[in-house]
A = this chain, B = another copy of it.
Amino acid sequence: MEEGEESRCENCIVRQFNYLRAMSKAELKKVSDSKVTKKVKKGESLFEEGDKLDGVFCVRDGVSKLSKLSANGKDQIVKLASKGEVIGQRSVIAEESTNLSAVAVSDMEVCFIPKDSIVHTLNQNPNFAVEVLRHMAHDLKEADDVIVNMSQKTVKQRIAEAFLYLKSNYGEDEKGFLNLALSREDIANVVGTATESAIRIISEFKKKGMIKTSGKKIGVVDEKLLQDLIEGF
């Protein structure tokens, strides 16, 4: 009996958004045959900092935070990865243990792809290698931007940016609340501040009518006010 259509990488829509589209039919078939689909519950981890990865994870659904523990015991979230993104390639390519932990911030469905097929294709298909390279170049640019934000913007500005980022990347529901509801602690860890500071600033934004909250849900009310704050007014 053949596997269902949608569970084959060849037919996976998610692939449209990542570098796996640069694989040939045959290569993709190999990937599909070796991949394992798993469900990961919110709060569970895909891997921990320091793990040696035997493959990469392709996100079919849900969102994962990629974070690194600092010496003082706080987690710094370096990136959020969602549908269509591939996690773990840096480690697999550099043949090093991961520098980041990956934890689901919403229920996820991911495909684990053993590294053999990735590495093999990298060495055989220059097209694929260049595509992965482009992707990593993009990640690097984003990381540079984060560095500049971290050091040159205030916590308030970074939190305001985070909300606009969440809105434009994950959208909002019918009631105008962000689809991706991060905890206050996660928000603090994204912008690199203390949880209490993040909470205080969120309260302030709410008072000023920039955002609204309902439990842990947060909605952007006045995008322009947030934008002005980011630009320094």
The residues of B that contact A153 with a CB separation of less than 8 Å are 70-71
- Copies of this chain: 2
The residues of B that contact A214 with a CB separation of less than 8 Å are none
Q: Which of A125, A150, A151, A232 has the most CB of B within 10 A?
A: A151
Distance between A158 CB and nearest chain B CB, rounded to angstroms: 9
Distance between A19 CB and nearest chain B CB, rounded to angstroms: 11
Closest 9 CB pairs of A and B: A151-B192, A70-B152, A129-B129, A143-B143, A94-B137, A150-B150, A76-B148, A93-B137, A90-B137
A100 at the interface (CB under 8 A from B): yes
Extra pairs beyond A139-B140, A140-B140, A143-B144 (8, CB < 8 Å)? A89-B137, A90-B137, A95-B134, A100-B144, A123-B127, A133-B133, A140-B143, A147-B147
Q: Is the interface of A mostly helix, strand, loop or mixed?
A: helix
Interface size classification for chain A: 35 or more
Contact string against B for A residues 73-111, beta-carbon threshold 8 Å, 1 for contact and 0 otherwise: 010101000000000011001111001100000000000
> Does B141 contact A94, Cβ atoms closer than 8 Å?
yes
The residues of B that contact A174 with a CB separation of less than 8 Å are none
A164 at the interface (CB under 8 A from B): no
> Does A138 contact B94, Cβ atoms closer than 8 Å?
yes
24 contacts between A and B (CB under 8 A): A68-B145, A68-B147, A68-B148, A70-B148, A70-B152, A78-B147, A90-B141, A93-B133, A93-B137, A94-B134, A122-B133, A123-B126, A123-B130, A126-B129, A133-B133, A136-B136, A136-B137, A146-B147, A147-B147, A147-B150, A147-B192, A150-B151, A150-B192, A151-B193
The residues of B that contact A33 with a CB separation of less than 8 Å are none
The residues of B that contact A168 with a CB separation of less than 8 Å are none
Interface residues of A in 198-222 (CB under 8 A from B): none
A173 at the interface (CB under 8 A from B): no
Q: In the complex, A124→B147 CA distance in Å?
A: 34
Q: In the complex, A89→B140 CA distance in Å?
A: 11
Q: In the complex, A93→B134 CA distance in Å?
A: 6
The residues of B that contact A122 with a CB separation of less than 8 Å are 126, 129-130, 133
Q: Which of A89, A124, A152 has the most CB of B within 10 A?
A: A152
